Structure 1
Amino acid sequence: MSTAPPSPATWPDWSGPTEHCMPPQGSAGSAAALDWLEALGERQGWPTRTRMALALCADEALANIALHARTPAGAPAQRWLSCGPTAAGLALCIEDDGLPFDPTTQPSPELADSLDEMAIGGHGLRLMRHYLHQLLYQRTSERNRLLLEVAWPQTP
Structure 2
Amino acid sequence: MPPALAMTIPPATEEVARLLDALEAFAEEAALPPKVAHRLSVVIEELAANVVMHGSAGPGAASFVAVTVHQEGDALVATIEDDGRAFDPLAQAAPDTDAALEDRDIGGLGVHFVQQMTRTLHYSRAGGRNRMVATLDLTG
CA change 1:66–1:79 in 2 (3 A) is same
Correspondence for 2:18: 32
Instruction: Tell me by how many angstroms 1:142 deviates.
Output: 1.1
1:77 equivalent in structure 2: 63
Gaps of 5+ in 1: 1-14
Q: Is the 8 A contact 1:72 1:98 kept in 2?
A: no
Determine the structure 2 residue equivalent to 1:67: 53
DSSP-derived class of the 1:53 partner:
helix
Please give the root-mean-square deviation of Cα atoms over the aligned residues, in Å: 2.2
Distance 1:71 1:118, change over 3 A: closer
Alignment partner, residue 100 of structure 2: 114
Match of 1:41 among 27, 36, 46: 27
- Whether the 8 Å contact between 1:27 and 1:63 is mirrored in structure 2 is yes
Gaps of 5+ in 2: none
- TM-score when normalising by structure 1: 0.79
Q: Which amino acid aligns with 2:72?
A: T
The question of 1:92 aligning with 2:75 is answered no
Letter of the 2:93 counterpart: P
Q: Percent identity?
A: 28
Q: Is the 8 A contact 1:66 1:77 kept in 2?
A: no
Q: Is the 8 A contact 1:112 1:118 kept in 2?
A: no
Task: Give the equivalent residue in structure 1 for 2:121.
Answer: 135
**Alpha carbons 1:41, 1:51 under 8 Å: kept:** yes
Higher normalized contact order (CA 8 Å, seq sep 6+, divided by chain length): 1
Deviations 1:1-29 (A, max 9, x none): xxxxxxxxxxxxxx876321112331011
Which string of whole-angstrom CA distances, capped at 9 and with x for unpartnered residues, describes residues 82-122 of structure 1?
A: 11012340011111010111112222211134333333111
> For residues 36 and 27 of structure 1, what CA distance do their matches in structure 2 show?
15
Q: Using structure 2 for the length normalisation, give the TM-score.
A: 0.87
Matched, 1:56 2:49: no
Give the Cα separation in 2 of the matches to 1:27 and 1:114.
30
Contact 2:61 2:83 in 1 (8 A): no
Contact 1:71 1:98 (8 Å CA) reproduced: no
| Residues 71/18 of structure 1: CA separation in 2 closer, same or farther (3 Å cut) | farther
